[in-house]
Structure 1
Amino acid sequence: MSTSEQRPGALQGIRVVDFGHHVAGPLAAVMLADQGADVVHVDRPGVTPPADDAFFNRGKRRISLDLKDAADLGVARDLVRRADVLIENFRPGVMDRLGLGWEELRAANPRLVYCSLPGFAADDPRAGVPGWEGVIAAATGNCRIRAGHAPDGWDDTRPTYTAIPVASNFAAFCGAFAIVASLTARQRTGRGDRVEVPLFDAMFEAIGGSGAYPVARGLPPERAISSNGSGTYRCSDGRYVQFNPIGATPRFLVWFLDAAGVTAWVGEGLADRARLDRDPELRRLLHDRLTALFLTRPAGEWEELAGVAGVPLAAVRTLAEWLDNDHARASGQVVVVDDPELGATAMPGSAVWLSATPALPGRPRHLPDADRAEILAELASPAGPPSAEVASPAGPPSAELASPAGASPARPPRVEAGPVADPVAGPAAGPVALPYAGRRVVDLTQILAGPSAGRILVEFGADVVKINSPQRRVGAHGFVNRGKRTILVDVKSSQGQQILWRLIDEADVLTHNFPERTAERYGLGYEHVRARRPDIVYVSVSCYGYGGPWAGRRGYETQGQAATGIMTRTGGDGRPAVLGPYNVLDYGTGAMAAFAAAVGIYHRELTGAGQQVRTSLTRTGGYQQASFAVRPAHELPAVTPGGNVPGGARAAEPSGPEALGLSAWHRFYQAADRWFFLGATRRSLPVLREVPGLEQALSGLDGSDDDAVAAALQTAFRTATASEWTGRLTEAGLGAHPVTTLAELMADPWARSQGLTVTQISEEAGEVVMPGIAIRVHGNPPRLGHPVRRPGADAHEVLDRIGLAGSAETLEQAWAVQMSALPSGWDHF
């Protein structure tokens, strides 16, 4: 492919062929393109791209190929023979029938990393079912309102539909990470591999800690987040704020009450966490007082006040407002691209930020087939090596990727690879090291997002030491810290810093989620660490991202949703609501942070140079809404958070809790026993008329009246069970799935057999259930981490490894490390 343009970016020289469509495939590919990969997107001839094509295909070259035409199929095969990565998200079997399946292509290109993102896996009994988002949502319980956000009198059995393609997004995030991890492994083994992240499987990453529980107690009921007065409040201007002063102490609530001029409430016990936890009347009083207080000022003022006070609070914005927001623009979370058709167009920036290898999100898309002549000319030239990487496992990096001046050389893996598999015959006898085997990570992150990144790195071989603060509860510990060694260290103390720096001295990766400048105050900023460890990959995770005016603000899942427009999209009747039931920003950002670390590690493997990498909850919020986040400049609102709320979701998008789907053909329906999702289109009418039980219901209808079709289908569907209708509809080739509860999903025999739900034995809680691994890598599969012990239980082992075992008692007496009376890792499940 073209070498005339020298592009920066960690993935420079990597060649990707993108056969993706809709969301998952193109999104994974654009994440690679933004990091410098040369991506060729293959379009179907004659297809008119939708508006979001401006985002999903930016920075890519394009060629239109009819894969049913022999000549065009030959071009596609030639592209793949010269590629490092192939991405596709067809149903299982489609690429095989075209002669573009993994088994055939790896014989021609043994170094190929082949990534499939289907709706259901090839070995799933539902493999042939069209994996529409609604079908996957029904199958994974992702169709419930968040606890505490349902309208009064809501029927909890009734599903709700979101237009945000959560499953596709998570598949793309996980797929992009796994691709880069496989490229890193290829550096050692010389061979590619097959990555598969079905949308159904990817949802287990989104479910996260919501699906973790001790068997003896069972899956706990969903609870509204209401501690310390958390909630969504209306302000004097009619706008809303999302206030979330949660945490192990009431500090955020106290800070807010002080800043708001109502310090006397503290003396009344309204900030007493222990009393609030046990006294519902006191919680109600605090909520009522806050409701009245927020009505005294506009939302923008409350947001500024909270930002100065260091309190997690965000004004609720629309997506259009976020795209026009000063912080979003300054931090690179939103970029303006000069699109060839739309002109100046706002859209999400890169998924991650890297200091030494800058992303390239500002490259506009090319229109379909715009690069045909250039691509065909390249294919006509003599084939070069598959990539600009090392030519063989033992060979040196190419000249253009040699270590920059001043960079320390890359250290060899501490765990050597086992026998390298023959790319066609299969694996040789003996173990093969995972991509990050021998790599050590110091994990300083808290709550969900950062720790999830560390857990994913564990699954791909990393040795992770998890550091938490002493005398604090550790949230979701049993799931997010699975596979890590755990120690409780006061990193603010001089003795605690001694422990931390000894760990950093032997680490390859450091992760933290401090707000901007907080790490610097602890002497742990990137420049501090780089001075001692120039080859470190330094991963920073935050709520709002770095580099803009909000960089120092605190926030959680709910603030990320509020700021980026998700709450406006989810709510109904003018009242915003948190998207539920899963933490799609926390766990999505965990996958994004793992991707950021993977890109940093890959660059370090090639050059020996470390760098700082960053991502945030609000970056993920933009990516979760990327299908709607392409706005020409003239469409953006000229409003401030204190002004009137502009129109929220576009007219064609279903929103609010009452939404059941996109149309009569594509929505939830109630059967005789429970709800199910029908995934079809208007063109499916002739097929639907042939489904047993629907012949009479649809007779006389031409499909032009959606309401009439919906009424006819709803009446017919009441005559049989959801399972019966699902069987009939899928037999006809349509998408359908009964609504599955989370409890049913976590106990599902097929999910258990595939490791999507797993059982481990906790030394504290006995048998525990939790989501397993969403990513499949066929030649070198990721491995489940060992059950995590109580927070801090590995202190002696960790101290011994860094030569401080003899100082353990002294360190504990100085409160630098906690090794007794350890907190529970499961008490809140």
Structure 2
Amino acid sequence: MSGPGALSGIRVVDFGHHVAGPLAAVMLADQGADVVHIDRPGVTPPADDAFFNRGKRRITLDLKDPEDLKVARDLVRRADVLIENFRPGVMDRLGLGWAESRAVNPRLVYCSMPGFAADDPRAGVPGWEGVIAAATGNCRIRAGHAPDGWDDTRPTYTAIPVASNFAAFCGAFAIVAGLTARQRTGRGDRVEVPLFDAMFEAIGGSGAYPVAQGLPPDRAISSNGSGTYRCADGRYVQFNPIGATPRFLAWFLDAAGVTAWAGEGLTDRARQDRDPELRRLLHDRLTALFLTRPALEWEELANAAGVPLAAVRTLAEWLENGHALAAGQVVVVDDPELGATAMPGAAVWLSATPTLPGRPRHLPDADRADILAELAAPLADPAPVASPPTDPTSTEAEAASPAAGLPSGEGDAVAALPYAGRRVVDLTQILAGPSAGRILVEFGADVVKINSPQRRVGAHGFVNRGKRTVLVDVKSSQGQQILWRLIEDADVLTHNFPERTAERYGLGYEHVRARRPDIVYVSVSCYGYGGPWANRRGYETQGQAATGIMTRAGGDGKPAVLGPYNLLDYGTGAMAAFATAVGLYHREVTGAGQQVRTCLTQTGVYQQASLAVQAKDEAEPSRPSGEAEPGRASGKAEPRGPSALGLDGWHRFYQAADQWFFLGADRHSLPVLREVPGLEQALSGLDGSDDDAVAAALEAAFRAGTAREWTDRLTAAGLGAHPVITLAELMTDPWARSRGLTVSQISEEVGEVVMPGIAIRVDGAPPRLGHPVRRPGADAREVLSRIGLADSAEALEQGWAVQMTALPPGWDNF
């Protein structure tokens, strides 16, 4: 029987603005939390307010007014969670900082999402998306998707607020993890996810490499004919038959009636790798083949054959797509101003605690009377702390805890983490699911990673960091014996099988809950569950194609995969971690498990959430008007394609004498810009009404100095600016290294390796990095011993159930 949302009873005060804060808060509201959003007086909400503040109560407060500030402090005193994304120091100056808030409310989970952290030398720099993109190298075109003759040093701008989104995803997860820890300790904690730091979660495996080899160059995904192809109707498809075997390509060629191509070696991956001409021949053949049918016909044919292929759609098309609506990835809400309005559904789905994404927003200050009446009532005593399901003092629990066997002090730190003693069986593959498991490791979980024998394990050194790794054939009877022994002792099971595949393996939710009733069962997929596309396969590129992201990145009519980093894979990893956290919190409170789900296409909609609000009587999605980025209030078209440098002349990339940098300003900044040394003459005579004239004047002036000189002058004036940093520079940056955003570990396989560290900061119980992962399968004997099968290890290997020798490399793709 369905119950209330998993976070029912949790009170959140949302001081957020723009994207990061409100997005994290709406993710909590959709799970049943009572969120009170604080609006600033005199601000007209943009169209995307219909999404970012749905399901919340609202009160307008002028925090510079003593009486309104008192109301804000009273809300904080009664809250379970506070969310804010001001620059460091703003909340402290208001008397609403962590120290003051903790003093009056020790149970508060306090989440800050500034552009740059308080201890970052750039803390005072306005953290516009373009500034963060320049600082983290998130302004390059995806390898293989640049126009012919493209200058690789030239940056590109996207309207998708990637850094804000990742901060929100990670912040929402960390908040729920903090609430879970509070169930045990009775104490709150402070979480910080700066936008700059959050980008290291987005970078993921792109920033992982053995020091001896160095950071490899970007490589286009072209194996087995992968690519974007034009079809007979002028539309495009994104075809991605990658994987450990050529099965997807062979299935597609069979379905298309060109099986004979296999006889020419066109499905032989090893030959293609040795012979670029053979790879080129396959691409040319596919180019001609796709021109023989319309895009949607190819999509149906390929997906009936089980092949990852998606027609490229616009976001407007996805918001009206039958699968997106049936699966709840898009909902239609009766907004008080816009009427029936399509927008993103809930970020994650839970079986026992339904989400509440259909609740329309309240308009600013609509709940003032109710909120003030609640504040006038006596403050209730805090809820009692629930007892944890297991007794952490028991010998059995100590053996199960990831703290067991660690050096003195380190074990205590791990034991304080939210998921200490929690066991996870991770069956997921590629990037999204394994990333969720890695995040759970960082917050204390003990994760056993299961991969198939005789298969390459992609990005293993990063996504499986901190896990125990074993290679098991879960389709075999002996492999099932191993798996079920692990599941019977697990708190969480994660997989990324398409819908009904898990059931065919006997691993569906009902199968698992029959043996482990309180399991949190996590499903990750490309297209999600519950709609007609539930059985379809897909990767990052299919998720971008289906949800409209590729149409934003492409130029000259040809769509392109956006950005150098996998914003859907790693974004879905954070979303799956959030889904798991909500499931575990519900279990902590009630003792009941449930199934939780998320998918790449839902993450694709959330990455575009600020652009994904469409009133049903509109032909195109509504555009936010000024709050998300400066310049949009002018009604200018959204910047799209590889040639986009920014929103307008005030807010864009510029080329200095030595390199590019980003300027974050708006036309109201003209008086300030005129005072910047070197710009006085260039801007004299301009009144700011002509953006093109401003851009031309700045372009000429900026060529006279270096990017560092200009950014120093501009930031000293209080404007946003940052030089464009390459990924190689970022991964070796001394400050990033000192803060654990980039880390080194010693791999038994390749020696010292560099990779992104931990994006989330927690004061009281800092996340742990996790030990260097060994070669895939190297922990098999330890895992088998833990479940009582140590004596059967050799027999299991001889029966092909486990692989313990001739292990595949974990760093072969770096």
Structure 2 equivalent of residue 250 of structure 1: 246
What are the within-5 Å matches in structure 2 for residues 380-391 of structure 1? Answer: 380-386=376-382, 390-391=383-384
Deviation, 1:498, is 0.3
Structure 2 equivalent of residue 400 of structure 1: none
Deviation, 1:431, is 7.2
- Residues 595-616 of structure 1 show CA distances to partners (whole Å, capped at 9, x for unaligned) of 0000000000011100000000
Structure 2 equivalent of residue 565 of structure 1: 548
AA aligned to 2:774 is R
In the alignment, is the contact (CA less than 8 A) between 1:416 and 1:433 conserved in 2?
no
Of 675, 696, 707, 1:690 maps to 675
AA aligned to 1:449 is A
Name the SS for the 1:544 alignment partner.
Answer: coil
Distance in 2 (CA, whole Å) between partners of 1:350 and 1:341 is 21
Structure 2 equivalent of residue 187 of structure 1: 183
Name the SS for the 1:336 alignment partner.
Answer: strand
In the alignment, is the contact (CA less than 8 A) between 2:343 and 2:612 conserved in 1?
yes
Structure 1 equivalent of residue 658 of structure 2: 673
**1:110 and 2:93 equivalent?**
no
- Residues 306-330 of structure 1 show CA distances to partners (whole Å, capped at 9, x for unaligned) of 1100000000000000000000000
**1:755 and 2:748 equivalent?**
no
**1:56 and 2:52 equivalent?**
yes
In the alignment, is the contact (CA less than 8 A) between 1:24 and 1:172 conserved in 2?
yes
- Distance change (3 Å), C-alpha of 1:90 and 1:417: farther
In the alignment, is the contact (CA less than 8 A) between 2:653 and 2:661 conserved in 1?
yes
Structure 1 equivalent of residue 515 of structure 2: 532
CA RMSD of aligned residues (A): 1.6
Structure 2 equivalent of residue 711 of structure 1: 696
Distance in 2 (CA, whole Å) between partners of 1:366 and 1:552 is 37
In the alignment, is the contact (CA less than 8 A) between 1:671 and 1:720 conserved in 2?
yes
In the alignment, is the contact (CA less than 8 A) between 1:317 and 1:564 conserved in 2?
yes
- Distance change (3 Å), C-alpha of 1:795 and 1:473: same
Name the SS for the 1:635 alignment partner.
Answer: coil
Deviation, 1:416, is 11
- List runs of 5+ in structure 1 lacking aligned partners: 1-5, 397-409, 419-428, 639-649
Deviation, 1:172, is 0.1
**1:178 and 2:174 equivalent?**
yes
Of 488, 497, 506, 2:471 maps to 488
Name the SS for the 1:584 alignment partner.
Answer: coil
Structure 2 equivalent of residue 423 of structure 1: none
Distance in 1 (CA, whole Å) between partners of 2:52 and 2:496 is 28
Name the SS for the 1:621 alignment partner.
Answer: helix
In the alignment, is the contact (CA less than 8 A) between 1:34 and 1:359 conserved in 2?
yes
In the alignment, is the contact (CA less than 8 A) between 1:417 and 1:433 conserved in 2?
no
Distance in 1 (CA, whole Å) between partners of 2:279 and 2:3 is 56
Structure 2 equivalent of residue 406 of structure 1: none
In the alignment, is the contact (CA less than 8 A) between 1:417 and 1:431 conserved in 2?
no
Deviation, 1:7, is 8.1
AA aligned to 1:209 is G
AA aligned to 1:289 is R
- Residues 633-682 of structure 1 show CA distances to partners (whole Å, capped at 9, x for unaligned) of 112579xxxxxxxxxxx962000000000010000000000000000011
Distance in 2 (CA, whole Å) between partners of 1:601 and 1:32 is 15
Deviation, 1:385, is 3.0
In the alignment, is the contact (CA less than 8 A) between 1:246 and 1:252 conserved in 2?
yes
Distance in 2 (CA, whole Å) between partners of 1:110 and 1:568 is 48
Structure 2 equivalent of residue 454 of structure 1: 437
Of 788, 791, 796, 1:806 maps to 791
- TM-score calculated relative to the size of structure 2: 0.95
Structure 1 equivalent of residue 626 of structure 2: none
**1:817 and 2:763 equivalent?**
no
Structure 2 equivalent of residue 227 of structure 1: 223
Distance in 2 (CA, whole Å) between partners of 1:556 and 1:728 is 43
Deviation, 1:580, is 1.2
- List runs of 5+ in structure 2 lacking aligned partners: 402-411, 622-634
What are the within-5 Å matches in structure 2 for residues 121-200 of structure 1? Answer: 121-200=117-196
Of 448, 453, 460, 1:470 maps to 453
Deviation, 1:392, is 3.4
Structure 1 equivalent of residue 405 of structure 2: none
Structure 2 equivalent of residue 36 of structure 1: 32
**1:736 and 2:726 equivalent?**
no
Structure 2 equivalent of residue 773 of structure 1: 758
Structure 1 equivalent of residue 499 of structure 2: 516
Name the SS for the 1:17 alignment partner.
Answer: strand
Distance in 2 (CA, whole Å) between partners of 1:184 and 1:262 is 55
- Distance change (3 Å), C-alpha of 1:96 and 1:637: closer
Distance in 1 (CA, whole Å) between partners of 2:3 and 2:476 is 44
Structure 2 equivalent of residue 426 of structure 1: none
- Residues 329-350 of structure 1 show CA distances to partners (whole Å, capped at 9, x for unaligned) of 0000000000000000000000
In the alignment, is the contact (CA less than 8 A) between 1:174 and 1:202 conserved in 2?
yes
Distance in 1 (CA, whole Å) between partners of 2:385 and 2:659 is 57
User: What number of residue pairs does the alignment pair up?
Assistant: 787
Structure 2 equivalent of residue 629 of structure 1: 612
Of 559, 584, 594, 2:577 maps to 594
- Distance change (3 Å), C-alpha of 1:310 and 1:412: farther
Name the SS for the 1:128 alignment partner.
Answer: coil
Distance in 2 (CA, whole Å) between partners of 1:430 and 1:705 is 57
Of 588, 613, 622, 1:605 maps to 588
- Distance change (3 Å), C-alpha of 1:412 and 1:537: farther
- TM-score calculated relative to the size of structure 1: 0.94
AA aligned to 1:784 is L
**1:392 and 2:375 equivalent?**
no
Distance in 1 (CA, whole Å) between partners of 2:709 and 2:43 is 36
Structure 1 equivalent of residue 631 of structure 2: none
Name the SS for the 1:301 alignment partner.
Answer: helix
Distance in 1 (CA, whole Å) between partners of 2:668 and 2:271 is 59
In the alignment, is the contact (CA less than 8 A) between 2:127 and 2:195 conserved in 1?
yes
Distance in 2 (CA, whole Å) between partners of 1:701 and 1:181 is 52
Of 91, 94, 100, 2:96 maps to 100
AA aligned to 1:437 is A
Distance in 2 (CA, whole Å) between partners of 1:55 and 1:434 is 33
